[in-house]
Amino acid sequence: MSQFLHVQINVKRQLWAISLLFVAAGLAVAAGDYFSAKQKFDSIENGRLHPGAHVTLSYPELTAWVEKEAPRGVRSPNLRVTERDLATGTALIDFAKLERSQGQRPGWLMSKLLEGERPVSVTARIRSANGHATVDLQRVEISGVTIDGRTLDFLVQNFLLALYPDAVIGKPFELGHRIDRLDVAPAAVGVVIGR
């Protein structure tokens, strides 16, 4: 074996090892973000926080949590906020698989319309105070097509609320767990504990 070929093989092995280390480090960071978010959610839900406590959830933490907790059919979620109280979530969603993961069977027509992974983007304004929040949809895109008006109402009524009957859109709902308000900002989401 020539010395050049030997050096080339060693360099490829080193690059492969370095690549594996970067992948492992990325997975460790994502796992760390998930466990950090889960610990914060657990402390809120268990009522261990004193009144006035402020829990900060970073977007990497929230994204890692959503990625781990999302039902089958949801992949590559990402959360971002570019202005106060206006959040955008994106993901690749296979609506038929999502419906099946929730124990529903889509009808023939819906299965044909919804089968396959589609890029979805949802932008919502989130307002909260005094233990209540309101989520107002601002924009929904599926496969780059803006969904609005009656079509959006149809999807909310027949898909979102069918799968998640406790979801509330456009009306105030109680935050629970003694949460006073959510501070949705570009840097992070702050959860303020009341009472």
Q: Tokens in use for 21?
A: 């280390």
The pTM of the full predicted model, rounded to 2 decimals, is 0.78
Q: Are strands 188-193 and 54-58 parallel, antiparallel or unpaired?
A: antiparallel
Asked whether 71 and 98 are in contact (CB, 8 A), the reply is yes
- Going 179 to 182 to 188 to 193, the CA torsion angle's sign is negative
Instruction: Give the model's pLDDT for residue 153.
Output: 86
CB atoms within 10 A of CB 81: 18
Q: Tokens in use for 116?
A: 């396959």
Listed range (39-43, 153-157, 169-173) with the worst mean pLDDT = 153-157
* Helix intervals (H) in the chain: 3-45, 59-69, 95-101, 108-114, 149-155, 161-163
Quick one: how far is CA 41 from the chain centroid? Answer: 14
Residue 154 has pLDDT above 80, yes or no: yes
Quick one: how far is CA 13 from the chain centroid? Answer: 36
Listed range (6-15, 26-35, 123-132) with the worst mean pLDDT = 6-15
- Nearest of 183, 193, 194 to residue 84 by alpha carbon: 183
Distance CA 13, CA 25 (A): 18
Residue 5 has pLDDT above 70, yes or no: no
Residue 12 has pLDDT above 50, yes or no: no
Distance CA 151, CA 103 (A): 24
Three-state SS at 158: helix
What is the pLDDT confidence band of residue 31, given thresholds at 50, 70 and 90?
Answer: confident
What share of the chain has pLDDT > 70, as a percent? 83
Q: Which residue has the tokens 């490829």?
A: 12
Q: What is the largest CA-CA distance in the chain?
A: 75
